[in-house]
Amino acid sequence: MDVDCRGTAALMLLLVLFNYGASTAHGHDAHWGYEADNGPDTWPELCKTGTRQSPININPSFVDYANIPKMHFVNYNRSHAVTLKNNGHSVTATGFEKWPERPYIYGGGLDGVYELVQFHFHWSALDHQGSEHTLGSLSYPLEAHFVHLKKGMTLNESLYSDDGLAVVGVFFAQGNDGRPLRPLERSLQDSYAFGGGAEIHNFLPFEMLPENHQVFYRYNGSLTTPGCNEAVVWTLLAEPVTVTEVQLNRLRKHLSTSGRLLTQNYRPVQPLNGRRVLFRPHNFDLMFASGGAIYQMSKALVGFLSLLLLTASLM
C-alpha cells in the first residue's frame, strides 16, 4: 500500500473512531453508506479484497472452547458525561478520553490494555434483522459496539496492527425491560437529524453490559465500515440485554448523510475463510470434566440454547 492510500485509510479510521461531524460531511466518510448507491457492495479496497473481514456468522456448534481468562471491565462502573451524536451512519457516544477515570479493558486473552474510545449501534427497520454478527444465521434487532484502542498506540499505528483495536459487541433482544438504553432514551430524540446530538450526564457504561459478561465468542477480524481495516480483536458477549420497541423505533427515526431515514446500518456477514472462533464458557474446568463427556454435552447444549434464546427474542 502506498503512502497516499495509507493516509486515506488512516483518515477513514479517524473518522470512524471519533465521528467528527464536520469531517464526515466534507471528507471521505461522506461517500459511503448503506443505500443502494453507496452501500456495502460498493465499498472499496480491503472491504472487497480482505480475508479477515467482519461481521461473521457464528455457528455455536462449531466453535472451539478455550480456557480464556476473565476479561476485566475497569471503570465501566464509573459515570461521567458523554456526547451522543448522529454521524449519518449510526448513533455514537464519545468523550471517554475526558473522563477522570477512563474506562478500559484487559485480560480475557487480550494482549495489553485497551481504552474505550466510543460506542455505536447497528439496527434495521425489521425486528428480525439489525445486528451485524449473526448466531446460527439468525439476527438480533440491535447490536452495540464498544470500540477500544490499544494503550500506547496511535490511531494510525493501530490501523496496521492485527490487534490494534478491541471491540466488544453486545446483542440486544427485544423485550419489555429497557433499562440498558434508558439513560440514552430521551437524548435519542435530539439526534434524529444528521449532525444532531446531546450531552448525557452521569452515563454508566456497565448498565449496557449483560449480567454475565464473562461468556463470550472471540475471533480476529476487521472494522465493519470503510476502510474495513483488519485490525480488530472481536469479543462478542453471548448473553443479550434487552431493548424495547419504543427504543428501537427511536433509533430507526435517525437520518443518514443523505437526509433519508437510516432504516438499516449493518454490513452483511463475511466469509470466515478458515478463521477460528473461540468460545469462553462460564466454567471451563467443569466443561472438560469426566473425560470430556460434559464438554460434548455442554457444547451441544450451548448451541441449542443460544439459538433457542435468539429465536424466542424474535417471536
Residue 88 has phi, psi (to 5 degrees) of 90, -15
Torsion (CA) 132, 124, 215, 147 in degrees, nearest 10: 60
CA distance 90 to 142: 12
What is the reported pLDDT for 30? 56
Query: Do you know the residue count of the chain?
Result: 315
What is the reported pLDDT for 137? 94
What is the reported pLDDT for 306? 55
Closest CA to 207 of 254, 250, 242: 242
- Selecting among 80, 89, 213, 254, the annotated active-site residue is 89
Q: How confident is the model at residue 293 (pLDDT cuts 50, 70, 90)?
A: very low
The domain spanning residue 253 has which CATH number?
Answer: 3.10.200.10
- Residue corresponding to grid cell 448466531: 135
Residue 199, classed as helix, strand or coil, is strand
Mean pLDDT of 259-279: 97
Per the CB < 8 A criterion, the answer to whether 131 and 121 are in contact is no
**What would the pLDDT profile of 96-141 be if each residue is shown by its tens digit?**
999 999 999 999 999 999 999 999 999 999 999 999 999 999 999 9
What is the reported pLDDT for 31? 85
Q: Is the pLDDT of residue 312 over 70?
A: no
Closest CA to 52 of 245, 246, 221: 221
Q: How confident is the model at residue 313 (pLDDT cuts 50, 70, 90)?
A: low
What is the reported pLDDT for 24? 35
The reply to whether 120 belongs to the active site is yes
Q: Is the pLDDT of residue 22 over 90?
A: no
- Selecting among 24, 83, 224, 257, the annotated active-site residue is 224
- Residue corresponding to grid cell 453471548: 238
How far is residue 300 from each of residues 62, 96, 276, measured CA to CA in Å? 9, 40, 18
Specify which residues 65 forms β-bridges with. Answer: 279
The rounded mean pLDDT for the chain is 87
Mean pLDDT of 54-67: 95
Query: The domain containing residue 131 runs over which residues?
Result: 3-314
- Selecting among 120, 133, 148, 254, the annotated active-site residue is 120
Q: Is the pLDDT of residue 228 over 50?
A: yes
Q: How confident is the model at residue 256 (pLDDT cuts 50, 70, 90)?
A: very high
Q: Is the pLDDT of residue 245 over 60?
A: yes
Q: How confident is the model at residue 11 (pLDDT cuts 50, 70, 90)?
A: very low
Mean pLDDT of 22-42: 71
The number of folded domains in the chain is 1
The reply to whether 89 belongs to the active site is yes
Q: How confident is the model at residue 10 (pLDDT cuts 50, 70, 90)?
A: very low
**Alpha carbon of residue 103 to chain centroid:** 16
The reply to whether 80 belongs to the active site is no
Mean pLDDT of 236-264: 96
Closest CA to 125 of 283, 256, 305: 256
Q: Is the pLDDT of residue 167 over 90?
A: yes
How far is residue 308 from each of residues 2, 58, 116, 215, 312, measured CA to CA in Å? 48, 14, 32, 17, 6
Q: Is the pLDDT of residue 12 over 90?
A: no
What is the reported pLDDT for 286? 59
Burial of residue 292 (CB within 10 Å: 0-12, 13-18, 19+) is exposed
Strands (DSSP E) contained in the chain are: 57-58, 64-65, 71-74, 80-86, 91-94, 104-107, 114-123, 134-135, 142-150, 165-174, 197-203, 216-221, 232-237, 241-243, 278-280
The reply to whether 132 belongs to the active site is yes
Q: Percentage of the chain surpassing pLDDT 90?
A: 77
Lowest mean pLDDT among 175-184, 240-249, 250-259, 278-287: 278-287
What is the reported pLDDT for 64? 96
* DSSP per-residue codes, 210-258: -S--S-EEEEEE--SSTT--S-EEEEEESS-EEE-HHHHHHHHT-B-TT
- The H-or-E segment that residue 21 falls in is helix 21-26
**Alpha carbon of residue 289 to chain centroid:** 33
**What would the pLDDT profile of 73-86 be if each residue is shown by its tens digit?**
999 999 999 999 99
What is the reported pLDDT for 25? 32
What is the reported pLDDT for 17? 54
Q: Is the peptide bond before 271 cis (omega within 30 degrees of 0)?
A: no
Q: Is the pLDDT of residue 314 over 80?
A: no
pTM of the predicted protein model: 0.86
- Selecting among 145, 148, 213, 254, the annotated active-site residue is 145
